[in-house]
Structure 1
Amino acid sequence: MTARTLPVRRSTTNAVLSRESDHWESNAACRGTDGDAFFSESKPGIARARGVCRRCPVLVECLENQQAMDGNSYQWGVGGGLSAAQRRALVMEAALGNHPNLVLARLLVSPRWSRRVRDLGSSRGSLAGIVDGLREKGLMVDVVTVRVAVWWLGGDGSRMVRGTHWRRQLRDHLDTVITLREKGASYSDIALYLGLPPKESGARALSELMLSVTAELEMAA
């Protein structure tokens, strides 16, 4: 769902009035549904909206359109099968030069591959582990593509390795944190990129990490 596919009654839906039946929007699964449902801030509401997106035949086109509309503005609601936080995490991925292959990600949520992705997530405990498992099966994927697929399948898609508390893993991502800070990213945005739960404590932990690193460097100087 994007603002372009919301029901006509919302003020942001002028494009829905288009009568071009061959346009991707005419095939969107959310057409005719309650647009307000895609702007719920509750976890059950977000899950229901994403459930509609998951079965949408134009999921890739919708997410591409939603990303173009998001830009650097405040992001809100479910669009293209992703929550606002997940789309913001993709902005951080792009800042690092990581761009998902959405067509391939869509393949990974198809009946042929979705169970394999879930099973690998359970057995290997990380996005990198899923990537390795899929490559062993001959499917050349990267982490950010798999991350989008995991999100579409309802997983958390965190860059943390399951089984170890996320705070203990922060120093493993120190170089990435420093790079994103140099690019102007806030601690909240970096927390979204890493998938730290919840956002507020994650951002605080990142700030504390950087203060600690700075203090260590000053002592070593």
Structure 2
Amino acid sequence: MTVMTGRSIAPAVSPRARRSPTADLAEWRPRSLCRWVEDPDLFFDPRPERQRAAAAVCRGCPVRTQCLSAEVPHDDASYVSGVFGGLTETQRLALRGERQLGHVPHLGVAQRLAGPGWGTWVMARERAGLTLSEMCAAVAEYGLVVDEVTVLVAVWWLGGELCRVPAPCEGDKRRLRRRLAEDYGLLLRELTAAGLRQQDVAAYLGVPLAEVTAAFKILSRGDVEARCGERVAA
């Protein structure tokens, strides 16, 4: 989404008034697809299905990377709202957590991975169930070395749902909260020690906040041996 942020406006004001798509005529903004959407409020509807619909508009936008770059500085701990640069609120909250940990995506490379040449290939492997680390390794086999956060952005731009916590192995009947506590316990502690709140941790890992909260309760009881399924310095 390529509209102004206007954070001084009271929350009661409608999203259309909060961020007018014609308020800032930066050089790239006139080429944005969202300028032609009849209902700009689509980009501020919190319902997941509406956010996905808004992100789909961004999928063909020629200035998606510029939009995301312009919006990221405004995504702070207290305000992450709307679909911008092809990412939903939750995805941008995850991206904010990544940046807080020093993981900055290369948007030019992400754009390449999400483009016509790579996009079909990337999504085929995402649907095949490759984990994030496996996806990076698969891309590297073709001579393109990328970091994990860049791959995440590319997959999100393509409409995928890749995240840092993969699906459980076949036969693993544990609830997600138990799996988080047992397999990612050390990582959970590292993330909070780095200053991430529980909602930031949930977005970073790509899991529901309630499961993260429950995992921390399990860890606080001390009845599991916490392991680290993934390092912060990925």
* TM-score normalised by length of structure 2: 0.80
Size of the aligned set, in residue pairs, is 211
Q: Per-residue displacement from partner, 1:140-167 (whole Å, max 9, x unpaired)?
A: 1111100011111111121112243644
* TM-score normalised by length of structure 1: 0.84
1:207 equivalent among 213, 216, 231? 216
SS at match of 1:112: coil
SS at match of 1:76: coil
Quick one: distance in 2 between partners of 1:28 and 1:35? Answer: 13
Is contact 1:50–1:81 with CA below 8 Å preserved after alignment?
yes
For residues 5-44 of structure 1, what are the structure 2 equivalents within 5 Å? 10-13=16-19, 16-18=22-24, 23-33=27-37, 34-44=39-49
Give the corresponding residue for 2:231: none
Q: Are 2:124 and 1:119 equivalent residues in the alignment?
A: yes
Give the corresponding residue for 1:173: 184
Change (3 A) 1:216 1:137: closer
Change (3 A) 1:86 1:94: same
Worse-matched range after superposition: 84-93 or 168-177: 168-177
Q: Are 2:190 and 1:185 equivalent residues in the alignment?
A: no
Normalized per residue, the structure richer in helix is 1
Tell me which amino acid in the other structure corresponds to 1:12. R
Gaps of 5+ in 2: 7-14, 227-234
Change (3 A) 1:191 1:62: same
Once superposed, what is the RMSD of the aligned Cα atoms? 2.6
Is contact 1:131–1:146 with CA below 8 Å preserved after alignment?
yes
Is contact 1:131–1:143 with CA below 8 Å preserved after alignment?
yes
Is contact 1:5–1:31 with CA below 8 Å preserved after alignment?
no
Indicate the percent of aligned positions where both proteins have the same amino acid.
35
User: 4+ runs of 1 displaced by more than 6 Å?
Assistant: 214-217
Quick one: distance in 1 between partners of 2:224 and 2:25? Answer: 61
Quick one: distance in 1 between partners of 2:24 and 2:206? Answer: 38
Give the corresponding residue for 2:69: 64
Change (3 A) 1:209 1:150: farther
